Amino acid sequence: MQKSASLSNPSQLTKTIPPAALAIGSNAFTAKQQRKFPDDFLFGTATASYQIEGGWDADGKGENIWDHLTHTNPTVILDQSNGDIAADSYNNYKRDVEMMRELGLDAYRFSLSWPRILPDGFSNRINDAGVQFYNNYIDEMLKYGITPMITLNHWDLPQKLQDLGGFLNPLFPQWFEDYSRVVFDLFGDRVKFWITFNEPREVCYQGYDTVTLAPMLNATGIGAYLCAKHLVLAHARSYYLYKKEFAGVDGICGITYSIVWTEPLTDSKEDEIATELMRQADWGIYSEPIFSESGGFPKELTEVVNQKSKVQGFSKSRMPEFTKEEIEFIRGTYDFFGINHYTGVLVSGTEYLQEHPVPSMQDDINVGTFTPSDWPAAPSPWLKQSPNSLLKVLLHIKEKYNNPVMYITENGWSTRLEQGLEDDDRVRYYRDNLENVLDALDAGVNLKGYMAWSLMDNFEWTQGYTCVTINAWSDGKQRRFKDDFKFGVSTAAYQVEGAWDTDGKGESIWDTYMHSHPELIADGRNGDVACDSYHKYKRDVELLRELGDLRVQGFPHEQNEHGFQYYDNLIDELLNYNITPMITLYHFDLPQKLQDLGGWVNPLSIDWFEDYARVVFNKYAHKVPFWITINQPNAICIYGYGDRMLAPGINAKGVSEYLCAKNILLAHAKVYRLYEREFKKKYKGSVGISMAINWSDPLNNKTENVEAVERYREFEIHICSLRSVGISMAINWSDPLNNKTENVEAVERYREFEMGVYLDPIWSKKGDFSSVVKKIVEKKSKQQGFYRSRLPTLSPEEIKLLKGSADFLGINHYTTFLIKPSTKNLHSPSYADDIGVDLELGEHWEQSASNWLRSAPYGLYKLCIFLNLRYDYPTMFITENGWSTNTGLWDRSRAETMRRYLNALLLAIEDGTEVKGYTVWSLMDNIEWIAGSSERFGLYEVDFESEEKTRTARLSAHVYKRIIKKRIIEENWEPKNLKISKPKRVDL
């Protein structure tokens, strides 16, 4: 390592420090002696945490989006490098400060690594080692009179927050405010200069609208605009927090923009309009809401996006709106305007135009850019020295925003590695730009400081380092299903269709998940082909005809003409044979593009789902009488966002499960109200939701197991309490184990969580989440250091929207759990830790081919009675009930289990429950998510190895057909002359 230069040896200093470095400092740039920088003018340099710190996973630091990107997709970096070590400032901060001293700096602008301080992104867990690092860094600067200037976020968002949608999630401003509070509280006693965000354009446009910078979402035409709104709201919340609680008399807070100077290529009106549009798209969209007198997004850009959105078929503008309150809240939230300036371009409305994705921000503005060949060029392909561009920027901001206090927070030039210490071109660049600064000061620009980029060579983003489920229920009575009772079978799109990328179909989260993680699938088989129902739908309808008078549940969402044609054909084929279709709008297969925007943890998913539902209702409402909005929201949220068991595999325990629950329920309610308002009167259809609900009992009836069961039921049911367009839930019964007091209590707690979170808001008399759940989560959140409960609140308007928003409750029920208080060391915070129970299955219950599934038919009876009493006799459908076996057609265990559960259901109906239908899972073998094809639930066996994906009826199909025809349960009935070979008996 090169030794540091001694401050007392000027000759050595000139040999070891590049010429440009000698030009930085409070005594620099005095070529024109008649002009002088003001004594209080701050000279400094700038860096960013990811680019210099290294220590990417050291001492408890969490993963950020650049860690994730460079480790999972290293080829996007020019030299396939990363910031794992970078300049190793985490271990060499004293040397960094020594360099600042050598330069004679007044100030040093650096950024904090959010996940180094808050590893999960949330305020509940502060990493003491990360805090100590920044304390040391700050104190070392102050020791030598160097002013620390801190940027709160310089592109390195915690990956856990990105998994929840990052800047595209409207909850982001709240997350950022919480982070800001932690930071201000930790360092605000010594740091008086704060920048909220560095370069919003690069964050929003390059990160969310293109594949230029992390997280590289490429949500063209949508991502940048959503990000812009949430970013400026986050800035405002942080600003007000600081000014009200931490600033004192001398603390200041602002925001920094990257401003490429733009001017018209010619004096034509077209070029002037194009230049203004480009300015608005580049930085005006982020500065106008804060600095302009009117507030809100730029007028011209907003009008263009509004017009193009309408032409492109969007139901509303891609440009999000601010409320009047938001406009006033954001406007004026600044103490200074930070400027990162490097270069300029000439802009045309008629020349140098290129084709761009539609929609996209670039297509919205549709401008061409040009840089003259005689402008000096740096090794960075985007960087040329444009004449007097810094001066022009400063004068433009002065005029546009009434001369605010300004700081140049970045300005710099790249060189090639082989140039070594000889960087005369950098010297020239600095000298010319600082002459511009002096000119600006002479012109009355309220400029207070200049920060050179950068103190040291670092990781230059994508350029790397190149530029520097017992027995049957029977009491002897012959019970019968009513003639109007609906029997059916279920499937789901991803599990049966195949044709994953055929005819314009978009990628779903399960396509992505299974292609990315084939090692997580039991037999490695994915849904790319599955049962090939996309091409064999007529054979599928033949299976339904073979079974008899059926309702069929299933179908996913597609939004292209080939997709519509497939569903048109399938629905028409069903109706042709008097088979009633029941369509599920959403069964686990979210488009990956929407997941990239945060999926179900993004509140905007509510509107996306409503828009999608409107398209489907307009197309099929006249043909389809039964609709399920969402299948198993509890499974989606708990296992998709709080665990890695289901796609999208987001592991943000304790937070995302609840965010998902709120959004997915509100999405259901919005779609219910849509159908109620625009389609119900004309088509007389019913809309509901399906929940996964297993019964719960105390383990050996111990009290704690009973309580755990109650809590489980609350969380499984309560979050979704409605009443007349239905929703299908996977609901398994739960009972306490052993009836001991502690087990009984555990069961109650378990029921509260498993039922209370998803059913109470829709079906309970008061609406809202279970009060038991709210108290538990709020208390635990406080203990864990969160500023507010991890369970989001429902506003009075949202409670009203949700309450009664279902015509029926769909129940996906498979088994019963026996409950006791947990003795495990559970991850905290997490949904599992909030409930605090352990689940077991009856030791002597019959076991299926799935380790989680044992036969306990009494649970279905008890569950129906429980729901009947709790929610005042709701209309219910059993939308899934099934049994897994291995391969083979002799599936007596499935046939017997089906009979037992249907006997239990008949008893529940006799005892007053309003169960109107029963659906078997599944019509045929399919891709059972992470189990692949290793667990077979089909009435028909599918030969996945055959080209035709041959479907063959099992014994259970014949038994179910007999039940549908006779409407009674005939114990031990088997068809005569059935040509199915029985398994050979093995004597042990």
Asked whether the beta carbons of 451 and 410 are under 8 A apart, the reply is yes
| 630 and 510 within one domain | yes
Q: Is residue 822 part of a domain?
A: no
Quote the pLDDT of residue 14. Answer: 36
How far is residue 827's CA from residue 476's CA, in Å, rounded to a whole number? 49
Return the higher-pLDDT residue of 524 and 437: 437
How far is residue 281's CA from residue 369's CA, in Å, rounded to a whole number? 14
Active-site annotation holder among 410, 573, 748, 752: 410
Q: Is 177 considered catalytic here?
A: no
- Give me 172's structure tokens: 């982001």
Please list, in sequence order, all residues whose beta carbon lies within 8 angstroms of the beta carbon of residue 210, skipping any fewer than 6 positions away.
216, 218, 220
Give the DSSP letter string of 796-851: HHHHHHHTT--SEEEEE---EEEEEE--S---SSSHHHHH-EEEE--TTSPB-SST
Q: Above 60 in pLDDT, residue 162? A: yes
Evaluate the omega torsion of the peptide bond into residue 796 and state whether it is cis, within 30 degrees of 0: no
| 463 and 504 within one domain | no
Asked whether the beta carbons of 627 and 655 are under 8 A apart, the reply is no
Task: Indicate the SS3 state at residue 88.
Answer: coil
Asked whether the beta carbons of 364 and 304 are under 8 A apart, the reply is yes
Active-site annotation holder among 53, 177, 199, 748: 199
Residue-number span of the structural domain to which 937 is assigned: 491-696+723-732+806-815+853-865+874-907+914-966
Q: Is residue 137 part of a domain?
A: yes
* Radius of gyration, alpha carbons of the chain: 32
| 223 and 351 within one domain | yes
**The CA-based dihedral angle spanning residues 395, 396, 398, 404, taken in that order and rounded to the nearest 10 degrees:** -120
| 446 and 499 within one domain | no
Quote the pLDDT of residue 18. Answer: 61
How far is residue 524's CA from residue 509's CA, in Å, rounded to a whole number? 17
900, amino acid identity: R
Asked whether the beta carbons of 634 and 729 are under 8 A apart, the reply is yes
Q: What is the mean pLDDT of residues 386-398?
A: 98
Q: Is residue 764 part of a domain?
A: no
How far is residue 205's CA from residue 207's CA, in Å, rounded to a whole number? 6
How far is residue 327's CA from residue 261's CA, in Å, rounded to a whole number? 27
Q: Is residue 834 part of a domain?
A: no
Quote the pLDDT of residue 770. Answer: 95
| 451 and 373 within one domain | yes
Q: Is residue 36 part of a domain?
A: no
Q: Above 90 in pLDDT, residue 583? A: yes
Q: Above 50 in pLDDT, residue 44? A: yes
| 497 and 388 within one domain | no
Sign of CA dihedral 775, 780, 786, 791: negative
Residue range 795-813, pLDDT digits in tens: 999 999 999 999 999 999 9
| 513 and 559 within one domain | yes
Return the higher-pLDDT residue of 807 and 561: 807
How far is residue 894's CA from residue 938's CA, in Å, rounded to a whole number? 9
> Other CB atoms closer than 10 Å to residue 775's CB: what's the count?
13
> Other CB atoms closer than 10 Å to residue 216's CB: what's the count?
17
Which band of pLDDT confidence, cut at 50, 70 and 90, is reported for residue 336?
Answer: very high
Task: Tell me the pLDDT of the chain averaged across its residues.
Answer: 89
How far is residue 699's CA from residue 688's CA, in Å, rounded to a whole number? 33
Side-chain half-sphere of 4: how many Cα atoms within 13 Å? 14
| 245 and 359 within one domain | yes
Quote the pLDDT of residue 655. Answer: 94
Q: What is the mean pLDDT of residues 459-488?
A: 72
How far is residue 779's CA from residue 268's CA, in Å, rounded to a whole number? 64
Q: What is the mean pLDDT of residues 466-495?
A: 71
Q: Is 63 considered catalytic here?
A: no
| 464 and 528 within one domain | no
- To which H or E segment does residue 258 belong? strand 252-258
Q: What is the mean pLDDT of residues 820-835?
A: 94
Q: Compute CA 538 distance to the chain's CA centroid, rounded to the nearest angstrom.
A: 37
Distances from the Cα of 776 to the Cα of 622, 675, 764, 839, angstroms: 45, 35, 19, 19
Q: Is residue 784 part of a domain?
A: no
How far is residue 280's CA from residue 167's CA, in Å, rounded to a whole number? 20
Task: Indicate the SS3 state at residue 367.
Answer: coil
How far is residue 327's CA from residue 329's CA, in Å, rounded to a whole number? 5
Residue range 395-445, pLDDT digits in tens: 999 999 999 999 999 999 999 888 889 899 999 999 999 999 999 999 999
Quote the pLDDT of residue 742. Answer: 86
| 435 and 506 within one domain | no
Q: What is the mean pLDDT of residues 369-389?
A: 95
- To which H or E segment does residue 519 belong? none
Task: Indicate the SS3 state at residue 517.
Answer: coil
Q: Above 90 in pLDDT, residue 709? A: no
Alpha helices in 530-576 (DSSP H): 537-547, 561-576
Q: What is the mean pLDDT of residues 873-892?
A: 95
How far is residue 319's CA from residue 301's CA, in Å, rounded to a whole number? 9
| 283 and 164 within one domain | yes
Quote the pLDDT of residue 27. Answer: 39
Quote the pLDDT of residue 520. Answer: 85
Q: Above 90 in pLDDT, residue 342? A: yes
How far is residue 102's CA from residue 100's CA, in Å, rounded to a whole number? 5
- Greatest Cα pair distance, the chain, in angstroms, is 111
Q: Is residue 795 part of a domain?
A: no
How far is residue 859's CA from residue 191's CA, in Å, rounded to a whole number? 61
| 550 and 432 within one domain | no
Answer with the one of 468, 500, 522 that is the final residue of a domain. 468
Beta bridge partners of 449: 42
Global pTM value: 0.83
Residue range 737-761, pLDDT digits in tens: 556 778 888 999 999 998 899 999 9
Task: Indicate the SS3 state at residue 152.
Answer: strand
Residue range 14-39, pLDDT digits in tens: 334 566 665 554 334 344 456 899 99
Quote the pLDDT of residue 731. Answer: 56
Q: Above 50 in pLDDT, residue 180? A: yes
Helices 771-783 and 741-756: crossing angle, nearest 10°?
A: 100
Quote the pLDDT of residue 32. Answer: 42
Q: Is residue 426 part of a domain?
A: yes
What CATH number does residue 325 fall under? 3.20.20.80
Residue range 267-294, pLDDT digits in tens: 999 999 999 999 999 999 999 999 999 9
The total number of structural domains in the chain stands at 2
Quote the pLDDT of residue 531. Answer: 86
Q: Which of 365-374, 694-703, 711-720, 731-740 has the highest mean predicted lDDT (pLDDT)? A: 365-374
Quote the pLDDT of residue 489. Answer: 87
